[in-house]
Amino acid sequence: MEIWDCYHKAQNYVCKIASLEDLNRKWDYEIAQNPGDGNWPIWKEEAVENFKKGVSIPYYGILNGTIICEATAVTDPQYVQNSEGMMREGAVYLCAFRTNDEFQEQGYFSKLKDFMLEDLRKRGFTKAILGVAVSDDWHQKMYEHWGFTDYLKTGEETYPDGTIIDVEYYSKKLIQGESYTDILDQILHENGIVEKMRQEIIRRSDLFEEQTKGTKDEYNLYREHVQYVYKYAVMLSKDAAVDKEIVELSALLHDISMTDPSLDRSKHNEYGSAMAEQLLREQHYPEEKLQLVVKCILNHSSKRAQYRTTPEEELLECADGLAHFDAYKSLYSLAHKVMGLDDEQSLKFIQDKLTKDYAEIREDLKYLVRDVYARVMEAKTIREILG
Ligand SMILES: [Fe+2]
């Protein structure tokens, strides 16, 4: 643990996503701090409305029960000034960065920023955008230091009281690795069917998570599994002789039947292939390619390995195996909540599972997950790997 972490854990500093109650409390504080400034009550109204509509995520840093800093992520371009041309799919806009005066320049906001970017990355956002006043050199330097280095454009922002300021917008990629991000961007923006299916699996995963909230089955298939399979599928198809679209659609849809709790999980490949077939047919996807996606999904389960005949099927299998190494933290929920294991047993369960998965990874791909595997194997306590 870093010194900062030790110190601030002792200080009882936590970062969290705000509730509506937190939101009201913080905005009333800001209004009280800025008496006579008519912007603040209007900003409060907008913030509460956006939160209720689900188009914003407010992040708060709380020290000993007091909100001392905040930042907001706006997920819908309609609610962002000057969003035209800069907020494409996968982008999120960051704003309302504030730290109470007495807590500035002590690292609190930086921790909140890291917490927020990590959360947004896990939600599947690929790019974060922020705006900074043209005249504000100090913040420009700071944001540059944080990695917001891609200049997008300059625009005018208008405050509720009519004040106009010139703002420059910068972005930062939330997924590491140039090539993968670039390819992903290209696919998401140019390829309608892939993006449609990605949205469909996200929607179904969110619905399932909502239905199972608070139960031992609570799970978000996209966030905890599919997005990683997709990541590896894109990565591996880059230099492979495969139909990339078939690989990507198969990666996104291969476990789709898991979002329907009424279906038998042991036959998830059969149900999944039928569901994918129906979805793609509704989109008038070409029949020949549709059948290849269906075959990938049907044969991705290990009991049907002998029926795999195409490179796309092999690639999906590799991507599915690699993805386990990105999501080993959710294995803890399975061990702990579902199987009722204690922390020591859970660690052993995770280590055994990953040992088996690692053995099954193709030799030339093992380097992709070697570091994670080593870290999990070397852990003496579950806390070391849960972070
Ligand atoms: Fe899978």
Burial of residue 308, with CB atoms counted within 10 A of its CB: 0-12 exposed, 13-18 middle, 19 or more buried: middle
User: Taking the chain, what is the end-to-end CA distance rounded to the nearest angstrom?
Assistant: 9
CA of 324 to the centre of ligand 1 (A): 9
CA of 101 to the centre of ligand 1 (A): 48
Candidates 243, 252, 235, 227; CA nearest to 318 is 235
Which architecture does CATH list for 178-386? Orthogonal Bundle (1.10)
Does CATH number 3.40.710.10 belong to domain 3-173? no
The helix-helix angle for 3-10 and 108-122 (nearest 10°) equals 100
CA of 357 to the centre of ligand 1 (A): 13
CA of 139 to the centre of ligand 1 (A): 43
Q: What is the pLDDT of residues 50-95, one digit of tens each?
A: 999 889 999 999 999 899 999 999 999 889 988 887 887 789 999 9
CA of 304 to the centre of ligand 1 (A): 14
Q: Can you give the residue ranges of every domain in the chain?
A: 3-173, 178-386
CB 117 within 8 A of CB 146: no
Q: What is the pLDDT of residues 175-189, one digit of tens each?
A: 754 445 555 555 544
CA of 271 to the centre of ligand 1 (A): 14
Q: Say what the pLDDT of residue 183 is.
A: 55
Candidates 98, 128, 105, 99; CA nearest to 116 is 128
Q: Say what the pLDDT of residue 2 is.
A: 47
CB 100 within 8 A of CB 69: yes
Find all residues with CB under 8 Å of 333, minimum gap 6, and list them. Answer: 218, 219
Q: What DSSP element (H or E) covers 92?
A: strand 91-99
CA of 28 to the centre of ligand 1 (A): 46
CA of 229 to the centre of ligand 1 (A): 7
CA of 196 to the centre of ligand 1 (A): 19
Which stretches of the chain drop beneath a pLDDT of 50?
1-4, 6, 177-179, 188-190
